Amino acid sequence: MSAYLDTRVTLFSGRLWTDDALEALIEMPDGAVAERLTGRGLPQLATGYDRTGGTPYPRSLEQRIIGQILDETRVLIRPLTGDARAFLDFWTARFEMSNVKTLLRGKMTDERPAAILARLIPMGSFGRLDNQDLAHAEDAGELLRRLEAGPYAGIVRRARRAFEQSHDPFSLDAALDRGYYEGLVQRAQPLEDTLGAPFRGLMANLVDRINLVWLLRYRFNYGLPPAQVYYLLVASRYSLSGTRLRELAALDSLEAVLAALPAAWRTQLPGAADIPAVFARMEHAATGQALRVLRSRVPEIARAFAYLILRERDLRAVRAVLRGRHLGLPDDDIRLALRRAAAGLS
């Protein structure tokens, strides 16, 4: 298993886009875009996203990018068994959580089942849900009851209670997000115990970053009270523990929260004056960490996880360039969108 997975990760890592390659994609003539994408193993992205408009493609750009991520994950997961396979399999479930949200929003707005189904991400062999059945549920409440009888029962149960209390789409989405990441943390635990610091560091950075950005958004963008903010965060055993998150949520300004962070976090955030800047700096630090793991001689599952983190960030950047070209934006505007995409903000 080690030789196969290590070899695959090494080969796949050659597909990652450098800053220079992305700059070249921005500037190249329209006729060269499809060839460049195909040459870099992305033929499914090559249709319909240049300045000429091209022929409409039956799947959205977002669906195609996620399809690429799922295809590569399918290859990497092939030799895995036990805890390692369960973890990477569940890593793909966040895309199916996006489908759950689409289904729920469609039911809340009385959208036709066919229209809902057309917007779902094709999950292929990673799919766990009967989308046809779910799309024909009578309403959001019935949809949640059907979901609660399926493979995501633990995630959906809390979300259903939140929905029944408030009928607020935000609370529903937040409960689904929290439930998913707590499930991921649970599946990571046995791997952290056996693989040690490289894998645990990737998980800690991911969960702490999510919790801090959610805390800042919920508290200062949405004006939620501290107790509600804390309730919506992921239960964590990492450096931003539950006790520390409760203390941070009680503070009254972004500046106060940043000043109260552990020293290791503060060194990553010099000069961050708003939430997007905080996220961008944290994402930059996470990218550096993932690159170090990918390039080191550590357990193969840690390298595979690092690659998948980087690949998703990578394809967000490609998406930003292709969208900009398709819309006919000036190159400088595409570069701005690219910086935002690299920070996970587009």
Structural domains of the chain, count: 1
Checking if the pLDDT of 341 tops 60, the result is no
Q: What angle, rounded to 10 degrees, do the helices at 331-342 and 300-327 form?
A: 150
Range of the domain at 251: 197-284
The answer to whether residue 277 is domain-embedded is: yes
Q: CA–CA separation, 272 vs 263, rounded Å?
A: 15
DSSP three-state, residue 297: coil
The answer to whether residue 192 is domain-embedded is: no
Rounded to an integer, what is the distance from CA 314 to the centroid of its chain?
Answer: 12
Q: CA–CA separation, 30 vs 322, rounded Å?
A: 11
54-to-62, 120, 317 alpha-carbon distances in Å:
17, 23, 21
The percent of residues in the chain predicted with pLDDT above 90, rounded, is 68
Checking if the pLDDT of 172 tops 50, the result is yes
What pLDDT, in 10s, does the model give residues 215-229? 999 999 999 999 999
The answer to whether residue 243 is domain-embedded is: yes
- Nearest one of 216, 299, 224, 296 to 260, comparing CA atoms: 216
Checking if the pLDDT of 346 tops 50, the result is no
The answer to whether residue 291 is domain-embedded is: no
Q: CA–CA separation, 133 vs 319, rounded Å?
A: 31
Residue 104: Cβ within 10 Å count = 24
The answer to whether residue 221 is domain-embedded is: yes
**Proportion of the chain in helix, strand, coil states, percent, rounded to 5:** 75, 0, 25
* pLDDT in the model for residue 278: 92
Reported as a pLDDT band with limits 50, 70 and 90, residue 344 is very low
Q: CA–CA separation, 113 vs 136, rounded Å?
A: 6
Checking if the pLDDT of 74 tops 70, the result is yes
Residue 80 DSSP class: -
Name which of 159-173, 239-253, 307-321, 328-342 the model is least confident about. Answer: 328-342
Radius of gyration of the chain (CA): 21
The answer to whether residue 338 is domain-embedded is: no
Name which of 34-48, 77-91, 125-139, 309-323 the model is least confident about. Answer: 34-48
What pLDDT, in 10s, does the model give residues 278-336? 988 898 899 999 999 999 999 999 999 999 999 999 998 998 898 888 888 888 888 88
The answer to whether residue 257 is domain-embedded is: yes
Q: What is the dihedral of CA 293, 294, 296, 299, to 10 degrees?
A: 80
The answer to whether residue 56 is domain-embedded is: no
Q: CA–CA separation, 24 vs 22, rounded Å?
A: 5
**Phi, psi at residue 151, to the nearest 5°?**
-70, -15
